[in-house]
Amino acid sequence: MSQDFDLIVIGGGSGGLAGAFRAAAHGARVALLEPAALGGTCVNAGCVPKKAMWLAAEVGRKLALAEPLGFDAKGSGLHWPTFIGHRQRYIGNIHESYRRRLDEAGIAVLPMRGTLRDANTVSCGDGVFLRTGRILLATGGRALRPPIPGAELGVTSDDFFSWVQPPGRVAVIGGGYIGVELAGVLQSLGSQVELLVRGKRLLAPFDEELSRVLAEDYRQAGIGIRFGCEATALERSGDRVRVVADGLDDPVFDQVLFATGRAPNTAGLGLERAGVALDERGHVAVDARHDTSVDGIHAVGDVTAGLQLTPVAIAAARRLMDRLFAGRDRPLDQGNIPSVVFSHPPLGMVGLTTEQAVERHGAEAVTVYRAGFRPMLNALADVPQRSLFKLVCVGPERRVAGVHLLGEAADEILQGFAVAVRMGATLDDLNDTVAIHPTSAEEVVLMQGN
């Protein structure tokens, strides 16, 4: 039994859905295979539920400021089951929206796993073979546990979203964006967090100076941070877990959460049968246009080695479908892509770090501008948490090559300035823009150097 489609999408996450919708909008006959919930990691165990928990944590942090400001506020903390009900209702609405849009677009949705039989044939879990001219691989990635003894005693970020109450004391292992985000959420919602970082700093891809300020903000919030601390094993200690690592005064925790990386979901897809090449880390190898080594097979999202960001997967999939089915060839420019860590406060960046700018343009061509300040609400409540904004400018015209923001609303502020960076704005352009006062955002257009 066979059916013919112009495009078969394997994976119903953000990239796969974006590709399916865009191809269908161009008139293609599309089938989408996804054995689990639509939306992939982002909707079900990533961006969306993470941001929901972050918002709850932010409300908790604001409530903690109420009494110092003069409010009669005696909060008792978050009732997790109530909030999780709201969170899952929100996610359920996203699922329903996807199902409605897929039906309206005429996309055939098969709730099953698909594997490649060859470059033009997909084998479905029910034994049906589907024939197609194009295949889009968008199977995403998965959270990893490190290869240490007792790793099964720890949990991953996926498991975090099944928790219905905060653990009393939790070790978060990993200093990347997932570890930093979940450490901040848990501490703000009532846990005592120890962040165990193998390296010497948090958030290696981001600006080092901002990451140091964030670490100090976290310490002020009560989070213990241990740099140069590598967990070599986990052991059972009654109904708790002991972390074997140097330098831990109290190594026993109620929960241990691994945030030590992710791996692409390529196993069992039949890639070897079709001849699809993988890179050295097991990602599907693609070129700048997201073509694989096999003609007619393409890949986007976390299954590839590109930036692991949902909007990147969506943009790449849409541009790919525009090329394949509408003849518009505009490969995604992966430079100057903004990204944000939802820490407390959030940290965002677009463009080059200072180090990258020096390497690319030379030290004599790079000028860095800074604005360090305490946001107004923190100053009113006498909270020590500080913000730091930086601009990295290059050349005699002082073109803005990088914007780095750590502070309240940095996630919202950055989007507009990312447009300015892509358009080649200079420091003079920012200085010529009238500030909105009093805001944190005005600090970006008021920087004059120091």
Give the catalytic positions in this structure: 437
CA distance 200 to 229: 9
Q: Give start and end residues of each alpha helix (H) in 33-189.
A: 40-45, 47-69, 80-105, 157-160, 177-188
d(CA 115, CA 89): 32
- Straight-line distance from the first to the last Cα atom of the chain, in angstroms, rounded to the nearest whole number: 71
Cα-Cα-Cα-Cα torsion 281, 264, 122, 119, nearest 10 degrees, comes to -30
DSSP 376-412: HHHHHTT----EEEEEEEETTTTEEEEEEEESTTHHH
Angle at 422 between CA 354 and CA 411, to 5 degrees: 70
Note whether 139 and 35 are within 8 A (CB).
no
Cβ(268)–Cβ(116) below 8 Å: no
Residue in 236, 231, 224 with CA at minimum distance from that of residue 246: 231
